[in-house]
Chains A and B, each alone.
Chain A
Amino acid sequence: MTEKKKTQLKVLFSLIALLVCAGMLFYVNHYTRPTFMLRTVLQLGAIYALVAVSMNLLNGFTGLFSLGQAGFMAIGAYTFAIFTIPVKSRSGVYYLYGVADWLSNIQIPIWAAIILAGLVAAILAAIIGAPVLRLKSDYFAIATLGFAEIVRIIVGSSPMNRITNGSLGLKLIPKFSNFYFPFIVVGICILIVSLLIRSSYGRAFKAIREDEIAAEAMGINLAKHKQLSFIISSFFAGISGALMGMYLGAITSTTFNVTLTYNILLIVVIGGMGSITGSIISSFLVIAAREWWLRFLDMEIFIGSFKVPLLKSGFRMVVFSLILMIVVLFFRRGIMGTNELNWNFIINRLNKKKKTGGESCE
């Protein structure tokens, strides 16, 4: 088969796969109850997928171990909320402290607010990037973690009362206008990230991950490329923060605490550091397991008159954590490692199966 034909086939298959996904979403939207858990899992999974991919760009592809993702999400979510809460309901939201004068009459369209959320996060990343990116490995992780906490505390602090509503948080954030909205936004964003990864700049990022000294000796400006990666990663974290705000409808500063960062990190590690499809798959799996499949462990179950031991509220998280430990023990490099789930990967796998199958027959 010629290269060209192969590419054509791959494009065809990709289109079919896309259509199948769209069809499944359509089915879920039209033929399931609005309270069905799968709807929640899909929407939340998509949002986590975006932030996981953005973290992976930094941690998995550029090799900068950042723990600041929740901070950038918080900035995105708050930016989005501040500019989109309907003007007429602002007095209700800011009932205790009142709203800042300059803010009381500004309201921008949803799409503009989403982009603005990303931009504000990116600008902040550019500002803190210059000093923080000088640090290496663990120190960089600690600095970004500290940054995330500072952001969280500042938005929740009393001097910010008239802008962020302080510790009361913001509510009445516009919800998704329809079921497909988050998937479209997340889809576009992840597409952009994957295009970036396969570009020359993406290769330069990978070079920095593999060997900083060699990358620099090959003429790659470390400071510039690290900064770029940090800003882009924060941009998409900001957008996913906006989506999270839309999904929840109400946010407080505690929504974006350290636990959120660890959840994202966990998704990235389970999916595979350096694999975009890995991050996507693992975010849906992790969210589904946590929110849906393991729910029954929180309920008391009786078999006849026998009460199953241990099952009570909170036990779900114990089992969840155990599964995580097992996954990390047996798949040390995550589900996908640094591979991507694309047609090449599938074709190679099938060929390998065929080959080994043939040998065992002889």
Chain B
Amino acid sequence: MSEKVLSVQDITMQFGGVVAVNNLSLEVHKDEIVSLIGPNGAGKTTAFNVITGVYAPTNGAVDFEGKNIISNYPRGKMEKMYAGENKGKYKKVTEPTPDKITKLGIARTFQNIRLFKELTVLENVLIAKHMRMKANIFADTFLLNWKEEKKMKEDSLELLRILDLYELKDEKSSSLPYGKQRHLEIARALATNPSLLLLDEPAAGLNPQETDELTEFIRKVRDHFHLTVFMIEHHMNLVMDISDRIYVIDFGKMIANGTPNEIQNNQKVIDAYLGVAEDE
């Protein structure tokens, strides 16, 4: 089996008394496309937010490329309230902010598109390049690092060219059609040079044709940039079509995992999506 890129271990996320993600463990391997699915409110986006550092988990750890990047255990107020499992298994506290996670090489997109609306397509991509900039603010202001700036711009234009967004480079990002905005969001995430790409419902709000385009787009991105893709998605066609493996969660707990074929025939998954009749 190829090397592990992401390994989520016993993640529990508890808000007050509500356990949004309960003891979730999963693994994503290199060059895979893995999907996380589940009914509304199952805790998929929360899991994403934990991995990207938006929330510190209540308990559990996350490893990325073999290194521990996030770790926490129930402390303070949570110590008494904690309702999850594996209490006491983790002793370390590592709570990086989202920008640190991105710097390590995990890029993400958002469920409801979060582009920099007033800025152009090119600027959106350039901003993602900013964190790798070596020059300090003085050198940058007085154009002492013009070579670096020039390279940033060339790289960004090259990226836009590969992803067929070059023609739109000077358009305001909010003026793009919805499907293109989705593409741009992925392009912007790619500009951070990630090795793992997290997509949060990339096909939300797209029509069937746009969804097909997106499927191709994601494949193209994975092959061209040698990426690992981990995504949340509701469009079953897209998920079954593109995924190598699928994890299914419901009420914060993982209920199944396996290849698309296995998942389609898994009784637990069918029950979670369609509901179980009370008396039969």
Interface residues in chain A, defined as those with a beta carbon under 8 Å from any beta carbon in chain B? 192, 195-196, 199-201, 203-204, 206-207, 210-211, 213-222, 228, 232, 274, 338
**Counting CB contacts under 8 A, is B162 at the interface?**
no
Q: Which of A192, A206, A216, A218 has the most CB of B within 10 A?
A: A218
CA–CA, A228 and B137, complex, Å: 9
By a CB distance below 8 angstroms, the chain B residues around A216 are 97-99, 102
By a CB distance below 8 angstroms, the chain B residues around A218 are 99, 102, 127-128, 130-131, 188, 192
Q: Cβ of B152 and Cβ of A220 under 8 Å apart?
A: no
CA–CA, A4 and B123, complex, Å: 21
**Counting CB contacts under 8 A, is B114 at the interface?**
yes
CA–CA, A203 and B120, complex, Å: 11
Q: Cβ of B114 and Cβ of A196 under 8 Å apart?
A: no
For residue B274, give the distance in angstroms from its CB to the closest CB of chain A.
Answer: 34
By a CB distance below 8 angstroms, the chain A residues around B116 are 206-207, 210-211, 214-215
CA–CA, A213 and B54, complex, Å: 9
By a CB distance below 8 angstroms, the chain A residues around B135 are 200
Q: Cβ of A215 and Cβ of B127 under 8 Å apart?
A: yes
By a CB distance below 8 angstroms, the chain A residues around B95 are none
A-B CB contact pairs (8 Å), 15 listed: A199-B143, A200-B126, A201-B141, A203-B119, A204-B130, A206-B119, A213-B110, A216-B99, A217-B107, A218-B128, A218-B188, A219-B128, A219-B131, A220-B131, A221-B131
By a CB distance below 8 angstroms, the chain B residues around A211 are 114-117
CA–CA, A220 and B130, complex, Å: 7
By a CB distance below 8 angstroms, the chain A residues around B152 are 200
Q: Cβ of B119 and Cβ of A219 under 8 Å apart?
A: no
For residue B96, give the distance in angstroms from its CB to the closest CB of chain A.
Answer: 11
By a CB distance below 8 angstroms, the chain B residues around A195 are 141-143
By a CB distance below 8 angstroms, the chain B residues around A215 are 116, 127
CA–CA, A221 and B101, complex, Å: 11
Q: Cβ of B130 and Cβ of A219 under 8 Å apart?
A: yes
CA–CA, A206 and B142, complex, Å: 19
Top 4 A-B residue pairs of the complex, sorted by shortest distance between their CB atoms? A219-B131, A219-B102, A210-B116, A214-B114
* Residues of chain B from 122 to 141 with CB closer than 8 A to chain A in the complex: 123, 126-133, 135, 137, 140-141
What per-residue 1/0 map shows which CB atoms of B29-52 lie under 8 Å from chain A?
A: 000000000000000000000001
Q: Cβ of A219 and Cβ of B149 under 8 Å apart?
A: no
Q: Which of A211, A214, A217 has the most CB of B within 10 A?
A: A217
Q: Cβ of B137 and Cβ of A219 under 8 Å apart?
A: no
**Counting CB contacts under 8 A, is B4 at the interface?**
no
**Counting CB contacts under 8 A, is B212 at the interface?**
no
Within the complex, which residue of A192, A207, A217, A220 is in contact with B141, where a contact is CB–CB below 8 Å?
A: A192
Q: Cβ of A203 and Cβ of B126 under 8 Å apart?
A: yes
By a CB distance below 8 angstroms, the chain B residues around A274 are 118
CA–CA, A196 and B188, complex, Å: 22
By a CB distance below 8 angstroms, the chain B residues around A217 are 52, 98-99, 102, 107-108, 110, 114
* Residues of chain B from 60 to 77 with CB closer than 8 A to chain A in the complex: none
Closest residue of A by beta carbon distance from B104: A219
* Residues of chain B from 144 to 202 with CB closer than 8 A to chain A in the complex: 149, 152, 188, 192
CA–CA, A210 and B132, complex, Å: 20
Q: Cβ of A221 and Cβ of B99 under 8 Å apart?
A: yes
CA–CA, A199 and B117, complex, Å: 19
CA–CA, A242 and B188, complex, Å: 43
Q: Cβ of A199 and Cβ of B127 under 8 Å apart?
A: no
